């Protein structure tokens, strides 16, 4: 007898929905079959979608920005995640420039993450490194971390990693088999004019800064080898140019992540009276760039949320320089992507991400032997109306969606059942 069965679902298997039953034994998917077999607990989902639990590879919970922390901590951040069908999140360690501080940053974050209600993992983050890079990488690997994020910008806060160091890190990424993540904007093309108001964000961080730097880093990757993952690609122009110049590199050794907000919003929102709420880096782009991004969705490898939530009063500042950049949205990331792209969104939020990380083996796909990580999405037209985070800033309020997450299961246990939070199922992976 099996422990549980999810019956009568349309189960997402190898790229399509199949009417079948999913039998679960302890943490694992034991059998997938339309046959009716006995199980201790049976959940009839009545034709709802059964989807692999999603993985969000890009979140910022309780991010330290000096004068302020992002408002969702690991508890409120992951609570929203599981209400949105996500059961694994990858957050970032604080940026450091040497191996000793890296170890401290790891244990600090490990302690903060204990309140998570789902599984979690970390990327290391490097800033203007001041050490032997190979020693840094060896320390990172010894902590069980397989991804390292750098910034090509933010020299103003001493976070920029310079070209010669990026090249060395790329070479190390193939030698030590880790993924190099990059926040890509050309530092010299960013204008931090202190008199800019929030509606000057596009002038401050133009598309050219993203496109030019992305092409440069793709060339570095092509020449030097290694694995690079571009976080939060914002503009369809950047994506088209990358495809044109590096067709054999894209999503093989140079992976492209985008975020729900670049599909949902445009820079028009910055002209609104509450436009300061829509400030993030890189910024929301023009309608044309968003259209291009949507048209090229097939070439987006993965979707991460870059969830970095603040309250309205945190962001209500006269000058751009005083506004903490970032928005929330983890709870509704699937709603948004499914609305635009239907099942094409699923692999980019699950399987593709798992394929990049050795510690995520057994996640991201519904198949026998994999972890029983899945969520049930009931289809009916409705509007997003609430979230379970800590902030009062909710940009997806009233956004149209085609369904809702009703159950979320992690490693064979329900975290969300019938739209209610049941219990935490959480570990560091």
Cis peptide before 26 (omega within 30 of 0): no
Binding segment (CB under 5 A) for Zn ion, from list 66-74, 243-251, 303-311, 332-340:
303-311
Nearer to Zn ion, 66 or 194 (CB): 66
Minimum distance from CB of 69 to Zn ion (Å)?
A: 14
Nearer to Zn ion, 58 or 411 (CB): 58
Minimum distance from CB of 127 to Zn ion (Å)?
A: 14
Nearer to Zn ion, 101 or 306 (CB): 306
Nearer to Zn ion, 51 or 148 (CB): 148
- The reply to whether 257 sits near Zn ion by the rule CB under 5 A is no
Minimum distance from CB of 262 to Zn ion (Å)?
A: 13
Minimum distance from CB of 63 to Zn ion (Å)?
A: 8
Burial class (CB in 10 A: 0-12, 13-18, 19+), 155: middle
Q: Which of 14, 112, 105, 18 is nearest to 61 (CA)?
A: 112
Nearer to Zn ion, 72 or 306 (CB): 306
Nearer to Zn ion, 299 or 306 (CB): 306
Minimum distance from CB of 306 to Zn ion (Å)?
A: 4
Binding segment (CB under 5 A) for Zn ion, from list 10-18, 26-34, 302-310, 336-344:
302-310
CA distance linking residue 421 with residue 391, whole number of Å: 19
Nearer to Zn ion, 113 or 415 (CB): 113
Nearer to Zn ion, 76 or 373 (CB): 76
> Distance from CA of residue 206 to its chain's centroid?
23
CA distance linking residue 411 with residue 29, whole number of Å: 9
The residues near 365 (Cβ < 8 Å, ≥ 6 apart) are 14, 52, 350, 351, 354
Binding segment (CB under 5 A) for Zn ion, from list 124-132, 141-149, 211-219, 304-312:
304-312
Minimum distance from CB of 60 to Zn ion (Å)?
A: 6
DSSP secondary structure, 244-289, as one string: HH-TTTBTTTEEEEE-HHHHH--GGGGGSTTGGGG--SSPP--HHH
266's tokens: 């445009």
Beta 420-421 vs 179-183: how paired, if at all? unpaired
CA distance linking residue 140 with residue 178, whole number of Å: 10
> Distance from CA of residue 366 to its chain's centroid?
20
Nearer to Zn ion, 5 or 230 (CB): 230
Binding segment (CB under 5 A) for Zn ion, from list 31-39, 152-160, 306-314, 354-362:
306-314
Binding segment (CB under 5 A) for Zn ion, from list 35-43, 298-306, 345-353, 401-409:
298-306
Minimum distance from CB of 140 to Zn ion (Å)?
A: 18
Minimum distance from CB of 33 to Zn ion (Å)?
A: 41
Binding segment (CB under 5 A) for Zn ion, from list 32-40, 124-132, 305-313, 345-353:
305-313
The residue at minimum Cβ distance from Zn ion is: 306
The C-alpha angle 389, 393, 399, rounded to 5 degrees, equals 90
Beta 28-33 vs 39-44: how paired, if at all? unpaired
- The reply to whether 72 sits near Zn ion by the rule CB under 5 A is no
> Distance from CA of residue 179 to its chain's centroid?
15
- The reply to whether 306 sits near Zn ion by the rule CB under 5 A is yes
CA distance linking residue 363 with residue 103, whole number of Å: 27
Minimum distance from CB of 179 to Zn ion (Å)?
A: 15
Could you list the residues that contact Zn ion (CB under 5 A)?
A: 306
């Amino acid at each position: 007898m099996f422990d549980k069965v999810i019956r009568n679902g349309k189960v997402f298997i190898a790229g399509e929905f199949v009417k079948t039953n999913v039998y679960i034994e302890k943490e694992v998917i034991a059998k997938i079959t339309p046959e009716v077999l006995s199980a201790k607990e049976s959940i009839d989902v009545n034709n709802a979608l059964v989807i692999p639990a999603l993985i969000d590879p890009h979140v910022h919970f309780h991010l330290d920005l000096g004068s302020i922390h992002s408002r969702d901590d690991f508890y409120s951040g992951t609570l929203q995640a599981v209400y949105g069908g996500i059961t694994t999140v990858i957050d970032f360690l604080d940026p450091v420039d040497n191996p000793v501080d890296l170890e401290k940053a790891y244990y600090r974050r490990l302690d903060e993450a204990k309140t998570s209600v789902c599984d979690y993992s970390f990327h290391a983050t490097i800033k203007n490194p001041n050490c032997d890079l190979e020693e840094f990488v060896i320390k990172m690997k010894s902590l069980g971390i397989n991804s390292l994020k750098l910034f090509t910008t933010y020299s103003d806060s001493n976070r920029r990693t310079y070209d010669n160091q990026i090249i060395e890190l790329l070479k190390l990424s193939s030698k030590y088999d880790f993924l190099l993540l990059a926040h890509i904007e050309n530092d010299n093309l960013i204008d931090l004019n202190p008199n800019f108001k929030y509606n000057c964000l596009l002038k401050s961080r133009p598309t050219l800064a993203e496109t030019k730097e992305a092409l440069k880093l793709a060339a570095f990757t092509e020449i030097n080898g290694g694995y690079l993952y571009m976080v939060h690609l914002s503009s369809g122009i950047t994506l088209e140019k990358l495809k044109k110049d590096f067709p054999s590199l894209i999503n093989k050794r140079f992976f492209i992540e985008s975020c729900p907000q670049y599909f949902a919003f445009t820079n028009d929102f910055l002209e609104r009276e509450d436009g300061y709420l829509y400030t993030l880096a890189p910024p929301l782009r023009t309608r044309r760039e968003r259209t291009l991004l949507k048209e090229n969705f097939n070439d987006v490898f993965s979707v991460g949320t870059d969830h970095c939530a603040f309250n309205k009063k945190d962001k209500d500042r006269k000058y751009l320089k005083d506004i903490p950049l970032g928005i929330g949205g983890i709870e509704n990331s699937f709603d948004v992507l499914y609305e635009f792209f239907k099942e094409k969104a699923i692999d980019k939020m699950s399987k593709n991400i798992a394929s990049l990380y050795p510690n995520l083996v057994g996640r991201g796909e519904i198949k026998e032997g994999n972890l029983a990580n899945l969520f049930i999405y009931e289809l009916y037209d409705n509007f997003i109306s609430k979230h379970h985070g800590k902030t009062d800033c909710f940009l997806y309020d009233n956004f149209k969606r085609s369904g809702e997450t009703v159950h979320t299961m992690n490693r064979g246990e329900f975290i969300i059942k019938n739209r209610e939070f049941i219990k935490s199922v959480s570990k560091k992976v």
